[in-house]
Structure 1
């Protein structure tokens, strides 16, 4: 249940009256929730709720956004806000009215905003002296540094403004990899050596050692008089681009091999520093050369201490003879301390506060007028967007979305785009100029990119654009790459889109396409028409040939019989090929046109009932939830659900009828009695803390959860419409929590953590949970934990690649039983069979394994489930125990018959076109499973073919028309599989 607002202080003066009027406006608008207001206003929930709290005056931009969301009169509220600001500041609102002082007299700002500090900014770079010293010493001793840190932790700044100035002037080469890292590296080296880039690029592609030799050539080619640097410091910033932008695996491996070789050669004159986002650590371990060097080369950028944050805030201002108000220093330190990725937000808030300074003082009033910690960035972006006309807003949307690389199992990242990829119209040039002036974008030479990834996280409007249709954005990115390839190959017709890809690309809104992309699609359509004409000519010739065969048939009956049989074989083979192609197209169409996709898959299966067409039919029948979408197509005549489940951490009751989904800082309960029509129930209060794992007790009466604050929370969900928080208990873990498991009787819970431990809890009285025991033994982050059905055994998996089994019959004195060794990488998922005799584990080594644990401590490895091409992220048994399901990063769902555990049989390979599948849970209905993707969408999968065939036409809204049929089933008679749907 949402909590009521805190009563206003009647002695609050003008702020009391202002907040009271805002609350009255919200009442008159029907009292919408602050979550609904945030979606309308594009500001965060905390920003909007604090505007009506009466403790401080919100900025004018936040006030007007609040008023617009409630349907109020903006002109009237501008007057009300100005009057309140005057009353609060004694008639002088100049420092807090949102108007910038700007850079008076051409003064250089002491803060970089969203930009990373560069070598020229070293005099203003403070707070990282200890880390900088450690990195410099590391590089001087070991030559290779791989610097990991969260987005916004300051990796780029500490390398550019801290490490590089510690080396001789002119000894650094800094670049980002981009889509073609070898080409970018070759161009930078050639420029330093004053030679042509093509031979350098060719040499790097042919042999990793060429990089090492090219470094020596760069050092020898220095023309300036006097002694030059004896070594070259190569800094590769935003190294994660080799995974997000570079699609050529061979080029990626050769680029990394060249860097590692240059740093490890005995006579090396190069030192190499790589800056990588921490969520790409696993990606780095998959590169053999880099994985071998990581244990000795990696270093982490942690959060700043309070003293370091004070230095970041105060010392740059002091260098410009400015002062920082003590209240502002306290507020900034409190807002930034302990927050991951806080530095760009802090720097941008300081820059905006500097623009609103009073005299030579940075004040708390100016900070609040700028929008506060996260609000400053949102306010800057919203002011830019609001100042544009209608055409400019549409251009801004297309531009910012194009500058984001969509994550696959990782967060979205910024994308460096060449200017030639953008339309060169006046609107585009104007928006680009304004966004660059607002420091939201950077434009250097021939490329444009977002100033910092913090904008992706903190601008709700941009996040909304990205989530509206991620599938469409991926389709558009693929079209952009195909257009560039077509142009680079001199308009080669073999590179044009054909068939389903051309049809899907033509469904993109015309306004999002550039002139180059429209020309590419037009050329594809022209080529398709020519191909259709050739097909008609070919068919005409075939008909003439058939006439000749008829004459021959009259003359030779034997030959005629043979020809008839041959024609039947050819027709059957043709129909089978058409059906297989249509089945593959149906999966690609399922996320854009689910009704059409189901009919194509069903028709393909009816014409060629085999494994591939069956898998395609089951894949298209997945019931999907993608935020604003719906859980599949509903039966005709039934009303749509008010909302659909979404989140990243699922929990199901034992009967499969109640689902809990953790979505950021809240949990929502759903009635899943009918998976096609989920009904929203209650929302347990998590006090605004992001939850990462939840689980029901066996009777479904209690829900347990853990969050980023490392606190165990227990809710009474006996009435799922009105959940009640029973207790909050700090776990004592020193690292982030990964998962939670609850014993079936609901008395014992287990929590796992990145501090390499497991903790057992007595939750028999959920109002007073008690710590029972701490289990140690793993040598890496502990991830999944699971209780056996009888509750006597606990299994745990970790990054050390082992599965440990514990005897928890007496949870106060739990003891290790055995260790299951066999996986070659991290263990990410565990599940017990319903009889408790078998354990199923999933790993980063792309396999799942079945273990016989019926006679512990003796155990043995049974069958291996090896079908995935990437990390196995989730495993589950069906309630009857004869079927198992595995899901993974490769976007696939594999179904297995495990009746014979030593020889599991592959039953189905289902495809999720939305990308990575993270979690899987069995539902109450036999043969039905629920999965969660990396982008929080929920899907329901049928594995029972008979049920799928019976229900397929219930998903159809409009029968497939003749044109669509002819496009997907050429030369086959029109026979819609669901003809009665209209």
Structure 2
């Protein structure tokens, strides 16, 4: 029998009247028990029963849940609740914020958001049990572990919440290196050994064996104090900081030597774990102390499996007596599966969903309200930014830019900043407090840092700031380091900026500098003025000596001839150095000051026409179309597709694909937006006639759109790909009758595209032993090439019903990331993680041979393409360069141009036209169009000029060279 309720107070006013109506609604529903109501409404029994008790007005959310469970009309009850709330307010009666809402505010969330799991979070750390066990066994057998993984793969969490708790009887020491890893190490050791940090650092610098002796001393002190620990487990997290923020190569090598020696010495009492981002693997191989140990010590961290993701989602909720809606679990697993670096986004999305839970249930509606997978983080960041005043928004921009370490051939990383580097104004303090409260930043007593690097990748506003201010930020970061050095040396005047460096630093906005940096610059200006006064006094003394030297004129005639010749040589060399420096500066200035940069680059080329000035001219005059959002006025996204005539571009990003008219690359025109149903497309491709667009991605679905009318694209087909993991790439044959999809499930699937409305599976190609990434059809459609993480390229016979393997191309030392056939189909171009691109002769398959290697990149070759005429090719890389090659002689490819992207990494490349017009996509998803035709660039260069270069600007960039503006018709 349902439990009886306490009678209502007849004089209770609007509260009693409202409670009576709720009770009547429950009677009309057949008087279900409150246990049944709680099961349907997802609120506790106590919360629902108190809603009808008449003591206080329940919140609207609780009221509607009660009504929904009883089958009432929610719209009618919204009006009833508002009238009751107004009546309670008029009567001075409190309106309940909902007891369960108070429970929410006081409850500890089961998810940590962007922050890494710590030892205290071990109870809610799930999904990595297998990896944790593997790492623990490795550490028990060996004393050195180097953990590689993508940013966001969970390295820090598995070490702190998984590995460390697995060694309960071992003393641990965990830290990040920072800009001075030896000093950080010395401070941590000295605190344990009760020693002087300065003396410990001096000993570590002089002798790496000191680390091992200090560990023994620490363990001996602990045993005297009654501790049973006889070993020390050292965890060095975010090891990439020794490359990104540590500038002293000698200190870096000493730090690594200390760690490796402590782990490998015969009587070692130390176990060392190093966690480093995978894109810094090649950096680690350059450290003498580490490279020999890597083969036996390294271990990769890959994406979590679907089962591991489910455990990471469901089990923390179960520990807190919460339920996860099945639709939410399915959506989260699909969004995160197969995506490297997805864990912080998943954890943040879960945390935001938890804060929007309905009763004790985490729901799909709450997830969508939080913004979805990547959108949750973006929504949190945008809400934080939107709530700030204009002045505080400017302070937030300055703060977040300072907290990013700009990548040098790698992606940008977070930067741990001491508080003394920040100005302590009220705006900065307020922004810091609000950003920390929003979990975007973490702050302790001495340092501030971004909570996770996923924020750099996913918050498009921050990416836009970085793209706009990248050159300025590099200059400001150097200024910060110089200021710190100047202060550490007691304001030594020899450290102050002078000449060009001082002039460049003075161009930085004063409001973007801290008081310390402004003081450093002011001291530099004062020193420069004093030096000018001394020079003028010296010049006056020299003039007075001229009269006395006149008598020596005859004797000096011969010497003058030699002096003039020497002066001419010195002047020519000085002018050339000035010109080359100005040319390099034009590339840095091009994103912010395109008119000035164009004139500097053009003047430099005309003054000294050589390869370097030609390359900087081509780089500077590229048509930059950077846009931080897909909905902006310029193309942006991570996946491009270009029609065969180069006149239409498709850019896919997240759940949308945008079509652009590229007839005039300087002024791209937006045509239409295609809603991809939240698919998150990994790759899109046009059919050769440009009438159909094919897309596939992480949801294992193949989509085809009719884009013959690009203003009104329509969905033709949507069907499962049959792949068991995410699709990486799509390729279409020249006749448009066949397509191929590659996947992380190690397979290629072939499709009959004769009827785009009903694509049909033809075959599944197996043979690769790793993720299959790029795929490409030959021009005649007789062969298909596929590249894989197994470091091989396979050529498949498309004329044979069984689609047999014709050849396996081996030669790359790392993953194969890009492929392109030459127009005649006789040559294949491949790009790899080993920093090289290779040309292959495949004219007489199955015989094949390696022709030439294009090896000018300093990091991963992410994209390759042949020009339509086949005489030139282009390669792009994570090092931020775009290299054009003359491949007329395939055995001796010759460089044509080395272009530099001031915005950093370049991920994709497509040819727009046979004249060398190239389209690229950067790591921050902005699009750039480049011209490699020098004659065309020279003819159009002055079209970029709005205001002529002034004499002051000329003198700054071309000191002591005669003023000669390169575009006289604009002056």
Contact preservation (8 Å) 1:147, 1:299 = no
| Structure-1 residue corresponding to 2:716 | 726
Q: How does 1:60-209 map to 2 (within 5 A)?
A: 86=82, 94-95=96-97, 115-122=115-122, 132=132, 135-146=135-146, 155-169=155-169, 171-202=171-202, 204-205=204-205
**Structural RMSD (CA):** 4.3
| Counterparts of 1:665 and 1:923, CA distance in 2 | 25
| Structure-1 residue corresponding to 2:215 | 215
| Structure-1 residue corresponding to 2:234 | 234
| Structure-1 residue corresponding to 2:733 | 743
Task: Using the TM superposition, name which of 879-888 and 277-286 deviates more.
Answer: 277-286
Deviation at 1:248, TM superposition (A): 4.9
| Structure-1 residue corresponding to 2:314 | 310
| Structure-1 residue corresponding to 2:595 | 595
SS in 2 for 1:813: coil
Contact preservation (8 Å) 1:332, 1:373 = no
| Structure-1 residue corresponding to 2:934 | 945
| Counterparts of 1:856 and 1:368, CA distance in 2 | 53
Describe the shift of the 1:335–1:87 C-alpha distance in structure 2 as closer, same or farther (beyond 3 A). farther
Contact preservation (8 Å) 1:113, 1:351 = no
| Counterparts of 1:550 and 1:947, CA distance in 2 | 56
| Counterparts of 1:840 and 1:462, CA distance in 2 | 35
Contact preservation (8 Å) 1:96, 1:366 = no
| Structure-1 residue corresponding to 2:751 | 761
| Structure-2 residue corresponding to 1:971 | 960
| Structure-2 residue corresponding to 1:348 | 351
SS in 2 for 1:627: coil
| Structure-2 residue corresponding to 1:793 | 783
Deviations 1:536-595 (A, max 9, x none): 789999999999999999999998877766665555444333322322222222222111
Describe the shift of the 1:906–1:114 C-alpha distance in structure 2 as closer, same or farther (beyond 3 A). closer
| Counterparts of 1:677 and 1:231, CA distance in 2 | 65
| Counterparts of 1:562 and 1:351, CA distance in 2 | 82
Contact preservation (8 Å) 1:118, 1:157 = yes
| Structure-1 residue corresponding to 2:34 | none
TM-score (norm 1): 0.79
SS in 1 for 2:896: strand
| Counterparts of 1:830 and 1:668, CA distance in 2 | 25
| Structure-1 residue corresponding to 2:52 | none
Counterpart check, 1:444 vs 2:444: yes
Deviation at 1:959, TM superposition (A): 0.8
Task: Using the TM superposition, name which of 544-553 and 690-699 deviates more.
Answer: 544-553
| Counterparts of 2:523 and 2:733, CA distance in 1 | 62
Deviation at 1:877, TM superposition (A): 2.0
Equivalent position to 2:861, from 872, 875, 878:
872
| Structure-2 residue corresponding to 1:422 | 422
| Structure-2 residue corresponding to 1:675 | 665
SS in 1 for 2:420: helix
| Counterparts of 1:87 and 1:332, CA distance in 2 | 35
Describe the shift of the 1:776–1:596 C-alpha distance in structure 2 as closer, same or farther (beyond 3 A). same
| Structure-2 residue corresponding to 1:854 | 843
Deviation at 1:940, TM superposition (A): 1.7
| Counterparts of 1:205 and 1:652, CA distance in 2 | 55
| Counterparts of 1:197 and 1:733, CA distance in 2 | 57
Counterpart check, 1:708 vs 2:698: yes
SS in 2 for 1:683: strand
Deviation at 1:149, TM superposition (A): 6.1
Describe the shift of the 1:314–1:259 C-alpha distance in structure 2 as closer, same or farther (beyond 3 A). same
| Structure-2 residue corresponding to 1:577 | 577
Deviation at 1:410, TM superposition (A): 6.4
Deviation at 1:779, TM superposition (A): 2.7
Contact preservation (8 Å) 1:698, 1:744 = yes
| Structure-2 residue corresponding to 1:45 | none
Contact preservation (8 Å) 1:785, 1:797 = yes
| Structure-1 residue corresponding to 2:898 | 909
Contact preservation (8 Å) 2:177, 2:184 = yes
Task: Using the TM superposition, name which of 215-224 and 585-594 deviates more.
Answer: 215-224
| Structure-2 residue corresponding to 1:476 | 476
| Counterparts of 1:648 and 1:311, CA distance in 2 | 34
Counterpart check, 1:921 vs 2:925: no
Deviation at 1:737, TM superposition (A): 2.4
| Structure-2 residue corresponding to 1:664 | 654
| Structure-2 residue corresponding to 1:270 | 270
| Counterparts of 1:186 and 1:954, CA distance in 2 | 58
Contact preservation (8 Å) 1:414, 1:450 = yes
Contact preservation (8 Å) 2:659, 2:671 = yes
Equivalent position to 1:840, from 810, 819, 829:
829
Deviations 1:213-271 (A, max 9, x none): 44333222216533421222222334444454445556555545554554455543333
Unaligned runs of 5+ in 2: 1-58, 63-75, 89-93, 337-341
Unaligned runs of 5+ in 1: 1-55, 60-79, 319-323, 631-640
Describe the shift of the 1:530–1:627 C-alpha distance in structure 2 as closer, same or farther (beyond 3 A). farther
SS in 1 for 2:295: helix
Deviations 1:688-736 (A, max 9, x none): 2211212112111112221121222222111122222211222222333
Deviation at 1:497, TM superposition (A): 4.3
Contact preservation (8 Å) 1:111, 1:350 = no
Deviation at 1:300, TM superposition (A): 6.5
| Counterparts of 1:506 and 1:127, CA distance in 2 | 52
Contact preservation (8 Å) 1:353, 1:362 = no
Deviation at 1:762, TM superposition (A): 1.4
Contact preservation (8 Å) 1:168, 1:229 = no
| Counterparts of 2:700 and 2:540, CA distance in 1 | 73
Contact preservation (8 Å) 1:761, 1:770 = yes
| Counterparts of 1:802 and 1:88, CA distance in 2 | 72
SS in 1 for 2:745: coil
Describe the shift of the 1:496–1:823 C-alpha distance in structure 2 as closer, same or farther (beyond 3 A). farther
| Structure-1 residue corresponding to 2:513 | 513
SS in 2 for 1:760: strand
SS in 2 for 1:523: helix
Counterpart check, 1:775 vs 2:765: yes
Describe the shift of the 1:451–1:748 C-alpha distance in structure 2 as closer, same or farther (beyond 3 A). same
Counterpart check, 1:652 vs 2:655: no
Contact preservation (8 Å) 2:680, 2:698 = yes
| Structure-2 residue corresponding to 1:12 | none
Counterpart check, 1:692 vs 2:695: no
| Counterparts of 2:149 and 2:855, CA distance in 1 | 33
Deviation at 1:426, TM superposition (A): 4.0
| Structure-1 residue corresponding to 2:32 | none
| Counterparts of 2:562 and 2:309, CA distance in 1 | 86
| Counterparts of 2:674 and 2:365, CA distance in 1 | 37
TM-score (norm 2): 0.80
Describe the shift of the 1:544–1:447 C-alpha distance in structure 2 as closer, same or farther (beyond 3 A). same
Describe the shift of the 1:426–1:730 C-alpha distance in structure 2 as closer, same or farther (beyond 3 A). same
| Structure-2 residue corresponding to 1:808 | 798
Alignment length (residue pairs)? 882
Deviation at 1:290, TM superposition (A): 5.9
Deviation at 1:955, TM superposition (A): 1.1
Deviation at 1:855, TM superposition (A): 1.7
| Counterparts of 1:648 and 1:749, CA distance in 2 | 21
- Which structure would you say has the larger Rg? 2
Deviations 1:444-493 (A, max 9, x none): 23112234456556767656655654444444334333332333344445
Task: Using the TM superposition, name which of 150-159 and 583-592 deviates more.
Answer: 150-159
Deviation at 1:822, TM superposition (A): 2.2
Describe the shift of the 1:301–1:538 C-alpha distance in structure 2 as closer, same or farther (beyond 3 A). farther
Describe the shift of the 1:460–1:560 C-alpha distance in structure 2 as closer, same or farther (beyond 3 A). closer
Deviations 1:53-98 (A, max 9, x none): xxx9999xxxxxxxxxxxxxxxxxxxx9996975899999745799
Deviation at 1:365, TM superposition (A): 13
Contact preservation (8 Å) 1:145, 1:273 = yes
Deviations 1:649-689 (A, max 9, x none): 21111111111112222211212111112111122331122
Contact preservation (8 Å) 1:695, 1:740 = yes
Contact preservation (8 Å) 2:580, 2:613 = yes
Contact preservation (8 Å) 2:149, 2:300 = no
Counterpart check, 1:621 vs 2:621: yes
SS in 1 for 2:968: coil
